[in-house]
Structure 1
């Protein structure tokens, strides 16, 4: 497959635009996929300081 063909078939997905109902459907069809939770700012800061 040529690169140009791939680019035409590839549609990027904006995960932030998916609703909770969308995630329920995705999980039904692909149970191995899970939505990552966004860590609270406190956890981000602690991890940053730890490193």
Structure 2
């Protein structure tokens, strides 16, 4: 089960990709209010989870 922050980060990324926006750590930091280290750790975790299970992996 994903945390609220993991779901929020995933949704921001998916929305930005659908709109054709460039995603950067600074952008994610500004939109979420979390530091870059925490964002990197969550992104690493989300990439290991398949999309059908709520992640960003294949």
Query: Is TM-score (shorter-chain normalized) higher than 0.5?
Result: no
- TM-score using structure 2 length: 0.27
Larger radius of gyration: 1
Q: Which has the higher helix share?
A: 2
Query: Structure 1-normalised TM-score?
Result: 0.30
Bigger relative contact order (CA 8 A; separation at least 6) = 2
